[in-house]
Amino acid sequence: MKKAADAAEDASNSRAFEIVARAGFAVSGLLHLLIGAIALQLAFGRTGEADVSGAVSSLASQPAGPFLLWACFAACAALALWQLGNAVLGYRRKSDNKLTKRLSAAGQALVFAALAATIVSFVMGKGQNSRESTSDWTLTLLKAPFGVFLLVAVGAGIAITGIVFAVRGFRQTFTRDLSLSSTQAVRKFQTGVGVVGYIAKGIALFLVGLLVVIAALRAQPEQSTGLDGSLKALKEQPYGPYLLAAVAVGLIAYGLFLMVKSKTLRT
């Protein structure tokens, strides 16, 4: 067991593996850019699916679609394994080995594993509309014992995560994990896209969680429609197109921030 753990640690600490894993942040950034662009189109009256499935579908439709998807899958899978290694084996710097940070790494491992699974489903031609899959998942959970309570807990957890994202953006605490540029103009850009991006991502997650809670309390799983449905619901509010456009720009900023993070994350 010790030899296996040592081998896993050596693999996770290898420079080549780290480069591929860091590319996972850039892939997530690219997908957020596409989601933001689609959301911006929705704000101006065009159609589209402003979520991960819509973004991956957009990539798949490109001339080099299959190659792009396989490359994105490899990067996200590597990042999921890298974060899992951080959660289980710990970080290189002893000061980073706090329980909260290792739990955060475990959460990111799950997120990027799910993202890798979504991408490979499109590679295999089995990609599914995430709005429908979210509603189906909500219905399945509602039918389970104590399903309403579980679903409310899930929705509340997503909404609270959104609040945490927004607070991180306002307080700029995300900069603690980055090695920002010493050039003032570049540093301002890196920080600026992080602030705007975290706040917009927080708003989006809060809306998703809110719709999950509403769907649970009303026993109407069709109201749990994921990110795409949340953004489209936002458009229906007073001044909705302007609010949606602002969130869309924020998601684009978050995509740019993730690309910055892929280069500047401290290890």
SS3 labels along 42-97: HHCCCCCCCCHHHHHHHHHCCCCHHHHHHHHHHHHHHHHHHHHHHHHHCCCCHHHC
What proportion of the chain, given as a percentage, has pLDDT over 90?
Answer: 47
Q: How high is the pLDDT of residue 31?
A: 95
The answer to whether residue 259 scores a pLDDT higher than 50 is yes
pLDDT tens digits, 235-245: 888 888 999 99
pLDDT tens digits, 111-156: 999 999 989 988 887 766 666 666 666 767 677 777 788 888 888 9
pLDDT tens digits, 166-219: 999 999 999 988 998 889 999 999 999 999 999 999 999 999 888 888 877 776
Q: How high is the pLDDT of residue 112?
A: 95
pTM, full prediction? 0.88
* Structural domains counted in the chain: 1
Q: How high is the pLDDT of residue 88?
A: 83
User: Where does the chain show beta strands of DSSP type E?
Assistant: none
Beta bridge partners of 178: 265
Q: Across residues 34-63, what is the average pLDDT? A: 90
Mapped onto helix, strand or coil, the DSSP state of residue 225 is coil
Q: Cα-Cα-Cα-Cα dihedral of 176, 200, 69, 126, to 10°?
A: 130
Q: How high is the pLDDT of residue 26?
A: 96
For residue 88, the enclosing domain spans 2-264
8 A C-beta contact, residue 228 and residue 49: yes
The answer to whether residue 4 scores a pLDDT higher than 70 is no
**In which residue are the tokens 């710097």 written?**
93
Q: CA nearest 224: which of 161, 160, 151?
A: 151
Q: CA nearest 46: which of 222, 248, 259, 214?
A: 248
Q: What gap in Å lies between CA 31 and CA 227, rounded to an integer?
A: 13
